[in-house]
Amino acid sequence: MSSFKETGLNFIKNHPRIFSALEEFERTKKVPKFTYRKRIDVTINENVLKRFKHYCEEHGINVSRKIEQYMKEELA
């Protein structure tokens, strides 16, 4: 059975991002984001965009998340 210290060191070795987040929280008292979102500019047909936004609004869908989902599906 491993000691608490060995378990802790093993965790830090296997999950450095989580440990860094805990260090950042200790320093700033704020939890850092693990994923960041990036704003992009694209050119889309105005009518298509209007219809898509209307569709998303009717179905309670976030436009950006839906486009991100389509991008992930295309990459798979």
User: pTM of this prediction?
Assistant: 0.53
3-state SS, residue 57: helix
Residue 37 DSSP class: -
Helix (H) / strand (E) containing 32: none
What is the residue-level pLDDT of the chain in tens, covering all 76 positions? 678 888 888 888 888 888 888 888 888 888 777 677 888 999 999 999 999 999 999 999 999 999 999 999 999 9
Q: Are 12 and 4 in contact (CB under 8 A)?
A: no
Domain boundaries, the chain: 1-36, 46-75
How many helices (H) does the chain have, and how many strands (E)? 4, 0
Q: Are 10 and 2 in contact (CB under 8 A)?
A: yes
